[in-house]
């Protein structure tokens, strides 16, 4: 399987949505783990060095913007170089601009994308 060596960290505090995303990515043969808050996310990124991070912005403890800032400011290229796709309910132009300016590869508004479209964006980013 072409995706089976790719690791994705899903950072999402909504259990229902997180479970849907995890299941869909596992069906696509990705190796997936998750974090439910910003602090846990930073720890997992440092431990696992995933190939891609799917990041919600509204999180307990540390916002997604803060997580993104820390990833991109990390001195280690194996951390700062991890592609991040934001998946959020925030859809204001300011939020999108801020996410992209902080280094996100893409900004997806939850209500505007199906799971299949999200997977397609992940595949495009990883290839």
For 21-78, write each residue's pLDDT tens digit: 999 999 999 999 999 999 999 999 999 999 999 999 999 989 999 999 999 999 999 9
Strand duo 7-11 + 52-55: pairing:
parallel
Instruction: Give tens-digit pLDDT for 89-124.
Output: 999 999 999 999 999 999 999 999 999 999 999 999
Domain segments of the chain as ranges: 7-126
pLDDT at 86 over 90: yes
Alpha-carbon distance 96 to 117, whole Å? 18
Give the other-Cβ count within 10 Å of 31's Cβ. Answer: 16
Q: 18: which 2 tokens?
A: 């997180």
The pLDDT, as a whole number, for residue 1 is 60
Contact 102, 69 (CB under 8 A): yes
Instruction: Find the helix or strand (DSSP H, E) in which 12 lies.
Output: none
- Under the banding of pLDDT at 50, 70 and 90, the label for residue 3 is confident
pLDDT digits (tens, 9 = 90+) for 4-24: 789 999 999 999 999 999 999
Distance CA 89, CA 21 (A): 15
The shares of helix, strand and coil residues in the chain, as percent rounded to the nearest 5, are 50, 20, 35
Q: Under CATH, what is the fold of the domain 7-126?
A: Rossmann fold (3.40.50)
């Amino acid at each position: 399987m072409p995706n089976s060596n790719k690791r994705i960290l899903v950072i999402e505090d909504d259990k229902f949505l997180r479970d849907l995303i995890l299941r869909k990515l596992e069906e696509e043969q990705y190796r997936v783990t998750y974090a439910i808050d910003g602090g846990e996310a930073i720890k997992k990124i440092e431990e696992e060095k995933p190939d891609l991070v799917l990041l919600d912005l509204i999180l307990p403890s540390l916002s997604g913007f803060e997580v993104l800032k820390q990833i991109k400011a990390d001195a280690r290229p194996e951390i700062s170089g991890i592609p991040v796709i934001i998946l959020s309910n925030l859809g204001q132009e300011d939020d999108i601009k801020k996410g992209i300016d902080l280094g996100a590869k893409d900004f997806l508004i939850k209500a505007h994308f199906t799971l299949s479209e999200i997977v397609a964006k992940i595949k495009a980013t990883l290839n």
